[in-house]
Structure 1
Amino acid sequence: MTLKTFAVLAALASGLALSTSAYALPAVLQQGQGLGAYIDLDQLKALGDDVVLVDIRTADRYAAGHIPGAINIPREFIETPDVGGVIGETKTYEELEPILASYGLSYDQTIFVYGEFEENPLSPDSGRFPGKIYVSLDQAGFPNVHILSGGVNIWDGELSTEASVLPPSDLKLTNTKPYIVQKDYVVEALTKDDTYVLDARGTTGFDKAHIPGSINVPIGLFSNANQLHDDIDGLIARLDELGIDKDDEIITTCGWGWAASDLLAVLKDLGYTNLKLYDGSWTEWVQDPDLPKAGTDFATS
């Protein structure tokens, strides 16, 4: 089902204005041509056929109400479960290919992933941090994948309880562009002058424990974990303060790789071109006794 078959025409017919300025992206992200990693509701509504909405929430949350026409791929099918305390890493290409094909995804689609804001604590099946699913698909080679800023929470029409399903595709992940890196890569990167490891966790968590040499760029500077702020001047000021050039290598990290993915996506929209994600992030790093740790919980004399 395409966007033309749900809500847009109905909204127009009922006189609803398509302007959703309250949900618009920060102006600094709207200066380029075409769609960025993040899109807003106006941009979504302006599109026509051949658009695929992917709801990353659990099946029960999807069934209770989703954006009309969206298919449901819970994040647990794209990410690994808890493996030795490391949670939610993107599955390998070999694992992803048959899964994504079974849901009907293909390289020729324009895909929008969305989640929701939840007050509940984070868990492996959380609907927050859709940027991680964006990264999973983008680095798997999908050329037109985006994040709906605000997710289901900003939808201004009626939600649907009617499931949408695409026929399976013959997807082959032939255009992969790997930029998810492992801890050994991070260890080496920390010795380089032109590489920055940015930790997207909140300041409290970062101060307690972090990778030595990493720099805190809190997610609160740009997002509420589901929707971009309408003003990300604080993020831009922090990046300017750090003196990072647009072509410097940046590795994003956090606790699980989720906030780090949201940061990576917004950095991409800001024009940074050499981006990597340390997916294992702190939950992997802290378990290796041979790796250095920093922070108040890891103070050394």
Structure 2
Amino acid sequence: MSQVPLIVTTDWLVERLDDPKLRLIDATTFLKRPDDGGYYDVWSGEDAYKEGHIPGAVFADLLNDLSDPDSEFAFTVPSRERFTSKMSELGVGDNDTYVVVYDSGLAEAGASVVASDWASRLAWQLQYEGLDEVAVLDGGFQKWQEEGRPVSTDPGSYPKANFTGERRPELLATKEDVKNAMNDDNVVLVNSLTKADFNGETDTYERSGHIPGSVNVFFGDHSDPESKELHDDNKLREAFEKSGALDPDKKVITYCGSGIAATWNALILNKLGQNNVAMYDGSMTEWAADKSLPLDTAEKDK
């Protein structure tokens, strides 16, 4: 059991910036929906990291280093060897250290939706590969800057580590798992995208709509756009209660477009005490590409 909170505040972090056990990681990635529709434009946040980051932080490139380069889908989980090798280079893996991950705090470039979903993606990957001591910074780099906290352009570095731990397959859901879940009352499928995406009103993916039987809990509703802070647990709980996702006797599978936003919902569910949560890595990108698989829209749900 981790001794580090799942989500930490800027006050919590600033008190520990000089802690030799801290491994601080900037996982900033940028995503923007094209004006003419279609799949998102995505790019690495490495240049933004070089322009300024929390002092001591190292940069982890989710797009280019920590995804499977041979997959036809973006952000597919890489081989364990690829992931642990990169993490070891960044200094992550020693049993006596802990990790805090942050990102720009903006769910979409140019948008006002606040969610640390890129940070939660890396945190989820670390947990999937067996690391316990990992947290996500609430409000991310945007909140850090707005509070006038220190910012550095000096690249961070940590001594190379040896990543240990065992992969936790129960945290990952496959396409087959989701197919089985559609007819299983003991599994709650949570779509983490916008209501418009869920209703089939957008053309982001090869086909529009949602996986039959899934419920919509938009990942971007969990934080206050002004303060950049997460809502309190009571309000967070309200977002999930109607879906049945907080039932301790049920398993939850979260999904989104490419397994990013779904990790933010999974993290919030964990924070609220639901620990039986898996994330569908392929999400809508994989599901919609397989024309043999069903999709529902708002009309079909009526």
Tell me the TM-score normalised to structure 1 length: 0.79
Specify the alignment match of 1:211 in structure 2: 211
CA distance in 2, matches of 1:157, 1:238: 31
State how many pairs are aligned.
263
* Residue 55 (structure 1) shift: 0.7
Q: Does 1:110 align with 2:93?
A: no
- The one-letter amino acid paired with 1:230 is H
Specify the alignment match of 1:246 in structure 2: 248
Q: Deviations over 1:125-157 (max 9, x none)?
A: xx8531111100111111101101111112232
Specify the alignment match of 2:231 in structure 1: 230
CA distance in 1, matches of 2:190, 2:235: 15
Q: Which has more radius of gyration?
A: 1
* Residue 167 (structure 1) shift: 2.7
Q: Do 1:264 and 1:276's aligned partners in 2 also have CA atoms closer than 8 Å? A: yes
Tell me the SS of whatever aligns to 1:69: coil
Of stretches 38-47 and 273-282 in structure 1, the one that deviates more from structure 2 is 38-47
Q: Do 2:219 and 2:265's aligned partners in 1 also have CA atoms closer than 8 Å? A: yes
Residues 116-195 of structure 1 correspond to what in structure 2 (within 5 A)? 116-118=104-106, 120=109, 129-155=118-144, 156-172=148-164, 174-178=165-169, 179-195=171-187
Gaps of 5+ in 2: 29-44, 201-208
Counterpart pick for 1:286 among 285, 288, 291: 288
Q: Do 2:94 and 2:161's aligned partners in 1 also have CA atoms closer than 8 Å? A: no
Q: Do 1:116 and 1:128's aligned partners in 2 also have CA atoms closer than 8 Å? A: no
Q: Do 1:210 and 1:295's aligned partners in 2 also have CA atoms closer than 8 Å? A: yes
Q: Do 1:131 and 1:265's aligned partners in 2 also have CA atoms closer than 8 Å? A: yes
Tell me the TM-score normalised to structure 2 length: 0.79
| CA-based RMSD | 2.8
Q: What is the percent sequence identity of the aligned residues? A: 27
* Residue 210 (structure 1) shift: 0.7
Of stretches 153-162 and 235-244 in structure 1, the one that deviates more from structure 2 is 235-244
Of stretches 137-146 and 56-65 in structure 1, the one that deviates more from structure 2 is 56-65
Specify the alignment match of 2:193 in structure 1: 201
Specify the alignment match of 2:49 in structure 1: 62
Deviating runs (4+, > 6 A) in structure 1?
Answer: none
Specify the alignment match of 2:221 in structure 1: 221
User: How has the CA–CA distance of structure 1 residues 141 and 184 changed in structure 2, closer, same or farther, with 3 Å as cutoff?
Assistant: same
Q: Deviations over 1:181-228 (max 9, x none)?
A: 210111112221111010111111111111111110111331379955
Q: Do 1:200 and 1:219's aligned partners in 2 also have CA atoms closer than 8 Å? A: yes
Residues 79-118 of structure 1 correspond to what in structure 2 (within 5 A)? 79-80=67-68, 83-84=71-72, 86-108=73-95, 109-118=97-106
